[in-house]
Amino acid sequence: MRAMVFDCYGDPDVMSLRDVPVPEPQDGEVLIRVGYAGVNPSDTKVRSGESARYRYREVKFPFVVGRDGAGVVERTGSNVNGFRPGDNVIAWSATDGKTWGSYAEFMRVPVKNLSPMPKSLSFAQAAVVPVASLTAFQALFHAEKGGMIRGQKVLIHGAAGGVGSFAVQFAKSAGLLVAATCGSQNVDYVRSLGADRVIDYKTEDIGRAIRDWSAEGVDVVLDVVGSTTLPHSLDMLRPGGRLVSILTVTADGDIERDRKEAEGRGFRKITVIIDFERARDSMREITNLIDAGLVRVPPIEMLPLEDAARAHQMIESGHVRGKLVLKVADLWFYLGLRQRHMLRAMNANVKLRKSRQLPPETARNVLVIDVGGTHIKVYPMCRREPVKIDSGPAMTPKKMIRAVRTAVEGCRYDVVSLGYPGPVVHGKPIHDPVNLGPGWVGFDFQKAFGRPTQIINDAAMQALGSYRGRSMLFLGLGTGLGSALIVDGVLEPMELAHLPYKDGKTFEAYIGDSALKRRGQKKWTKSVFDVVAKLKNALQADYVVVGGGNARRLTNLPPHTFRGTNENAHKGGVRLWQPEGKRPRATTSHAN
Ligand SMILES: NC(=O)c1ccc[n+]([C@@H]2O[C@H](COP(=O)([O-])OP(=O)(O)OC[C@H]3O[C@@H](n4cnc5c(N)ncnc54)[C@H](OP(=O)(O)O)[C@@H]3O)[C@@H](O)[C@H]2O)c1
């Protein structure tokens, strides 16, 4: 498996991507196929050796960090109840310093460190939930920590970060009054989380702001930043109040002295870490709040696993808003196969045999070509990475064929799938693409390639690769707006982009690339959310997949929506050649 491994403590670049053996789940453990790994400050402290220096956590090398992960149960060790292969789960890694974390394709965790994935979240969102939410939830509500109840007042320091973003929302959902600190750039964000009084620590006097807000002080100060960097929190507490400090390992000052000082003044200072024995129960409550829509997952920034070092540098800057997540693997295709596999096994009333190897997609060697307005992506089976060819208004089919032939020289292919950026009827383009040169309509691609060739609308090809059952609407947020619907395995390419939406303008005019440039990210995102909801309802889709170059500009996704990846175009092209009954059927696209 691929994993971000390091052999000594040090800077972020001590981590390197390597092939290592898949771990074996032991008694009471579960092996998870990881889709996404949430990034936490503690990952950076373990990697740098800070945790070891403070005798908080030492590790046995080689090691893989990553407290948070989301994925699918691959298999279980003995004595595991409640989870089965194929279950979607979130996990928080063991802290014994020997068990590896989530920056790897597989992680093994004790079953008590596992919870069913919140149903309303994507894998990427779910991956950032465990550590930050557990810390915030337990610190506020556990009796021996904050012990907070409805109507009480809390001051939350560090509200824009992972723990703080959850803390503000948990506090509001429990009927608390919330003051929260953050830097000037995050004031609007923290207000959007629901904080009643947002204090800009860069420009305001926090003590005065709290006295103005609540003359008697607050019941609890929740410090997520580190007491050495903050003004004196005890001065802001009401008599009998509590200072709840999350152990940061680096900026905690002299805890014993602070505790004594607090006691001397009639307060309590409590230093907290996650209570893992009660984490499963806490996570059940957190999941309920998320699935009920009362708490949102903070905005996430996604990076590939290869960029783990960059993610660590960002976290170490101390000013990340929301959460960072690493994409480890694409689970969709795997899920589809797994579900089909289980279904077949259940139907035949036989026991599901555990298999490590997925069955091959197709016996044929498919060359997939995804034609776009700015690039043509070519996926020959003999290469791991796609080849990118520059495209544009001068690109004609003849030029495309020449460039593709050069790109795949030396690679064998039996058949060709071509994703075409325009309407395709009965396997033939009926208009030339808007952003490319002329000559596409009527061109004989099969003759030019000398191989059986299937042509399909490019959005439909991505949809085919994204499909994981029931009814799915695919929206391609690129230069224009691509769309396709698959219902119970029947694919219907659509042309929704040019239907009227608002003020006599089309859907594309609101969420196409030109709208993004013209109206700005905020308004564009708002329109995307609205359009997704409208089209999902109108077409009665169970879920929506958003693909295309601009999908990555959405930090959060609308409900029941997943983010597509470029590789889905490749998968779709390969699926086109699967035998009938094993792939979604296209209603209007046939072999040339
Ligand atoms: N012991 C445990 O069990 C445990 C568990 C979870 C977390 N932690 C620790 O808790 C700390 C926070 O974790 P996290 O995941 O929330 O980190 P994070 O996501 O990196 O967030 C840090 C946030 O702190 C804010 N900040 C920096 N200086 C500040 C200041 N002077 N006043 C107010 N806000 C300030 C930043 O916002 P601005 O950009 O607005 O400044 C940033 O968003 C870390 O040290 C972590 O290791 C401990």
User: Which residue's CA is the nearest one to ligand 1's atom 23?
Assistant: 161
- Looking at residue 382, its pLDDT comes to 78
Q: What is the pLDDT of residue 323?
A: 97
Quote the CA–CA distance of 67 and 65 in Å, as a whole number.
7
Judged by DSSP in three states, 457 sits in strand
- Percent share of the chain, pLDDT over 70: 92
273-282: average pLDDT: 95
- Mean pLDDT for 225-230 is 82
Provide CATH code, domain 2-126+297-338.
3.90.180.10
In this structure, of 71-75, 84-88, 251-255, 430-434, the range with the lowest mean pLDDT score is: 430-434
Does pLDDT of 62 surpass 80? yes
Q: Which two tokens stand for residue 578?
A: 């699967």
Beta pairing class for 375-379 and 366-371? antiparallel
Query: Which residues have CB under 6 Å of ligand 1?
Result: 40-42, 131-132, 135, 157-158, 160-164, 181-183, 186, 201, 224-225, 229, 246-248, 273-274, 315, 318-321
Mean pLDDT of 53-81: 94
Backbone angles phi, psi at 220, to 5 degrees: -140, 135
pLDDT score recorded for residue 584 = 57
Least confident of 3-17, 162-176, 323-337, 460-474: 323-337
CA of 45 to the centre of ligand 1 (A): 13
CA of 34 to the centre of ligand 1 (A): 25
Confidence class of residue 81 from pLDDT cuts 50, 70 and 90? very high
Q: Which amino acid is at 420?
A: Y
The pLDDT, as a whole number, for residue 580 is 56
Mean pLDDT of 293-311: 93
Convert the pLDDT of each residue in 521-531 to its tens digit.
Answer: 999 999 999 99
Confidence of residue 340 (pLDDT cuts 50, 70, 90): very low
Render pLDDT for 16-46 as a digit per residue (tens, 0 to 9). Answer: 999 999 999 999 999 999 999 999 999 999 9
Ligand 1: residue of 182, 197, 286 to mutate (most ligand atoms within 8 A of CB) is: 182
Residue 582: pLDDT band (50, 70, 90) is low
Taking 50 as the threshold, does the pLDDT of residue 127 lie above it?
A: yes
Which atom of ligand 1 is least distant from the CA of 163? 16
CA–CA dist 550, 571 (Å, integer): 20
Max mean pLDDT among 185-189, 329-333, 428-432 falls in: 185-189
How far, in Å, from the CA of 273 to the mean position of ligand 1?
14
DSSP per residue, 76-132 = E-SS--S--TT-EEEEE---SSSS--SSBSEEEEEGGGEEEPPTTS-HHHHHTSHHH
Atom of ligand 1 minimally distant from the CA of 272: 1
Mean pLDDT, residues 507-520: 93
| Closest CA to ligand 1's atom 15 | 162
Atom of ligand 1 nearest to the CA of 250: 45
More confident call, 495 vs 563: 563
How far does residue 163's CA lie from ligand 1's centre (Å)? 7
Distance in Å, CA 230 to ligand 1 centroid: 12
CATH code for the part of the protein at 351-575: 3.30.420.40
Residue 162 Cα to ligand 1 middle (Å): 7
Closest residue by Cα to residue 574 from 429, 462, 478, 446: 462
**Ligand 1 mean position, distance from CA 224 (Å):** 5
The mean pLDDT value of the chain amounts to 88
| pLDDT tens digits, 480-504 | 888 888 887 778 878 788 888 998 8
Enclosing H/E stretch for 558: none
Over residues 56-64, the mean pLDDT reads: 93
Note if the pTM is more than 0.85.
Answer: no
| Domain boundaries along the sequence of the chain | 2-126+297-338, 133-276, 351-575
Euclidean distance between the first and the last CA atom of the chain, given in angstroms as a whole number: 40
Q: What is the CATH number of domain 133-276?
A: 3.40.50.720
- pLDDT of res. 109: 97
- Distance CA(334)–CA(338), nearest Å, equals 6
CA dihedral 404, 409, 414, 420 (to 10 degrees): -10
Number of the ligand 1 atom closest to the C-alpha atom of 323? 19
Q: State mean pLDDT over 234-256.
A: 93
Confidence band for 286, pLDDT divided at 50, 70 and 90: very high
Residue 343's pLDDT band (boundaries 50, 70, 90)? very low
Six-digit token pair at 242? 């509590």
Buried b (16+ CB within 10 A) or exposed e, 422-432: bebeebbbeeb
| pLDDT classification of 60: cutoffs 50, 70, 90 | very high
Choose from 106-120, 351-365, 484-498 the range with maximum mean pLDDT.
106-120
In this prediction, residue 270 has a pLDDT band, given cuts at 50, 70 and 90, of very high
Distance between CA atoms of residues 548 and 482, nearest Å: 8
225, 230, 300, 323: residue to mutate for ligand 1 pocket, most atoms within 8 A of CB? 225
Is 50 exceeded by the pLDDT of residue 460? yes
pLDDT-derived band at 349 (thresholds 50, 70, 90) equals very low
Flag the least confident range among 280-294, 359-373, 415-429.
Answer: 359-373
* 159 CA: nearest ligand 1 atom: 34
- What pLDDT band is residue 350 in, cutting at 50, 70 and 90? very low
CA of 158 to the centre of ligand 1 (A): 5
Average of pLDDT values for 424-431? Answer: 83
Q: Kindly report the protein residue whose alpha carbon is nearest to atom 24 of ligand 1.
A: 158
pLDDT band at 508 (very low <50, low <70, confident <90, very high): very high
What pLDDT does 335 receive? 55
Query: How far, in Å, from the CA of 62 to the mean position of ligand 1?
Result: 28
Q: Is the pLDDT of residue 131 over 50?
A: yes
Instruction: Report how far residue 15's alpha carbon sits from residue 66's, in angstroms, rounded to the nearest whole number.
Output: 12
Over the range 536-559, which residues count as b (16 or more CB within 10 Å of their CB) and which as e? beebebebbbbbbbbbeebeebbe
- Indicate if the pLDDT at residue 434 is higher than 50: yes
Question: How far does the centroid of ligand 1 lie from the alpha carbon of residue 321, in Å?
Answer: 10
